[in-house]
Amino acid sequence: MTGRPIRHWLMKSEPEAFSIDDLRRRRVEAWDGVRNYQARNFMRDGMRPGDKVFFYHSNCAEPGIVGIAEVASDAYPDPSQFDAKSKYFDPASKREEPRWMLVDVKFVKKLKRTITLDELKGHGALEDMPLLRKGNRLSVMPVGAAEWKYILALE
């Protein structure tokens, strides 16, 4: 691990596809299928092992932060981009120059309750969070250190 400070992130997953309970069972999982360049860049250029992650359930009845995970690897090529049978296949991506990257994510804990999107929106201290910006649909985004501490105190 380098001498840089721990960074904080939020990663979204649809619970029907992969939930916090799935991560708890598997312990460590490759975060595959990211097909947005900005989200990919956050994983490739920003994430390092040891960084902390809010696990967020999206596109469900009660979207919100449901757990905490940790980045468990440096970024590496997402193998699904090369698999013609995968829904994440990208015929333009080449093994010698992969377009899509992923990181492994390790389970830390499930929160006692969901900190809902509506609840987060009600806290002025969080108004600058990328998650709460109108039109932001990124699945991977940074969380400021002050925002991280503030949200942890809500649990």
Q: Can you list the domains of the chain with their CATH numbers?
A: 8-154 (3.10.590.10)
Q: Which residue has the tokens 């989200």?
A: 39
Are 61 and 23 spatial neighbours (Cβ–Cβ below 8 Å)?
no
- In this predicted structure, the answer to whether residue 83 has a pLDDT above a threshold of 70 is yes
Q: What is the pTM of this model?
A: 0.94
Q: Quick one: pLDDT at residue 2?
A: 53
- Per-residue pLDDT averaged across 40-59, rounded? 97
Half-sphere exposure of 53 (CA within 13 A, CB side): 31
- In this predicted structure, the answer to whether residue 3 has a pLDDT above a threshold of 80 is no
Q: Quick one: pLDDT at residue 155?
A: 87
Tens digits of per-residue pLDDT, 133-144?
988 889 999 999
The token pair that represents 37 in the structure block: 């360049």
The token pair that represents 113 in the structure block: 């309750």
Q: Quick one: pLDDT at residue 137?
A: 87
Longest CA span, the chain: 46
